[in-house]
């Protein structure tokens, strides 16, 4: 295991010997156990670490930006040598992430696709858990704001918005209203950003017409999945989160398994 994010990033890029997107870099770091974190946004942290190195180290930085969110080692294999850099605090990382978001004119910050209804414990104020990556910290998106889509399997049955009432509450309402028996999956597109600690925060919008059109295009492509579209849409930089089962359901599964084992043992005695 490496001693820092920076060393882990360099190791992945050295092994790849090719430019990589920061989300892919973070996935490789966690899956190969090159660095461990309890943060909720490892991909954003990787982006911030690389950005900080380029900004603070200048020519001494081993990294170079070759595209939007895509980085490589500047002088491979010369980048094998260690390059000293100032330690970056969590507060500095947050600042870099926020400034990067604001400068990129993002509208949608995070989203989830085709999440399963039965992996949520439905109540008036439900927890709607997701992870940026399998090994990262879970985030509760129950308080997220934005728009959502309900599906019967992969058929769209309803599109709604969660502004005055957050995502979790709006979805719960659809478990008891006229749509209650008509959907089993949902997708959502969130306006609130995710912090390193796994909370949600609102960021002032600075929307250009180009960004607005690109976002609308991307949302339609994601929701409708037209076969002739090969990409999400220009400048759609929102991070996708994978669904995580509610811990309460996990506990129920464990208890049910234990009861089943106990019953079998009693039956065999």
Residue 231 pLDDT: 58
Per residue in 193-225, pLDDT tens? 998 889 999 988 777 787 788 778 877 877 777
Residue 203 pLDDT: 85
**Whole-angstrom Cα distance, residue 235 to residue 190?**
16
Residue 76 pLDDT: 63
Residue 225 pLDDT: 74
Averaged pLDDT for residues 247-268: 86
Confidence of residue 89 (pLDDT cuts 50, 70, 90): low
Q: Which two tokens stand for residue 59?
A: 């020519």
Per residue in 152-196, pLDDT tens? 998 999 999 999 999 999 999 999 999 999 999 999 999 999 988
Pick 13 or 57 by higher pLDDT.
Answer: 13
Pick 77 or 126 by higher pLDDT.
Answer: 126
Closest CA to 132 of 1, 236, 239: 239
Closest CA to 75 of 14, 25, 29, 26: 14
Pick 256 or 222 by higher pLDDT.
Answer: 256
pLDDT at 93 over 60: no
pLDDT at 104 over 60: no
Residue 82 pLDDT: 41
- Residue 221 sits at the vertex; the CA angle it makes with 100 and 107, to the nearest 5 degrees, is 30
Confidence of residue 78 (pLDDT cuts 50, 70, 90): very low
Least confident stretch, 116-130, 153-167, 229-243 = 229-243
The pTM is what? 0.71
Least confident stretch, 51-60, 141-150, 196-205, 211-220 = 211-220
In percent, the amount of the chain with pLDDT more than 90 equals 42
The structural domains of the chain, with segments of one domain joined by +, span 5-103, 110-248
Cα–Cα distance list, 130 to 164, 188, 240 (Å): 22, 11, 9
Confidence of residue 269 (pLDDT cuts 50, 70, 90): low
């Amino acid at each position: 295991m490496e001693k820092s994010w920076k060393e882990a990033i360099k190791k992945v890029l050295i092994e790849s010997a090719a430019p990589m997107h920061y989300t892919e870099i973070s996935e490789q770091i966690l899956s190969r156990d090159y660095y461990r974190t309890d943060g909720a946004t490892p991909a954003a942290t990787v982006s911030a670490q690389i950005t900080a190195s380029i900004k603070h180290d200048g020519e001494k930085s081993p990294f170079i930006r070759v595209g939007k969110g895509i980085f490589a080692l500047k002088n491979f294999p010369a980048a094998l040598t260690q390059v000293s850099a100032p330690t970056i605090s969590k507060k500095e990382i947050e600042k870099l992430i926020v400034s990067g978001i604001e400068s990129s004119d993002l509208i949608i910050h995070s989203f989830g696709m085709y999440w399963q209804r039965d992996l949520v414990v439905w109540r008036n104020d439900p927890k709607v858990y997701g992870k940026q990556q399998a090994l990262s910290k879970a985030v509760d998106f129950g308080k997220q704001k934005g728009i959502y889509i309900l599906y019967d399997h992969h058929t769209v049955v309803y599109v709604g918005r969660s502004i005055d009432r957050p995502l979790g509450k709006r979805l719960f309402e659809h478990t008891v209203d006229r749509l209650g028996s008509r959907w089993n999956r949902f997708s959502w597109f969130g306006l609130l950003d995710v912090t390193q600690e796994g909370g949600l925060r609102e960021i002032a919008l600075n929307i250009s017409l180009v960004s607005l059109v690109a976002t609308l295009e991307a949302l339609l492509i994601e929701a409708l999945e037209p076969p002739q579209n090969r990409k999400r849409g220009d400048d759609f930089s929102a991070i996708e989160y994978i669904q995580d089962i509610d811990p309460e359901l996990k506990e129920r599964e464990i208890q049910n398994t234990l009861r089943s084992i106990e019953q079998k043992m009693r039956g065999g005695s």
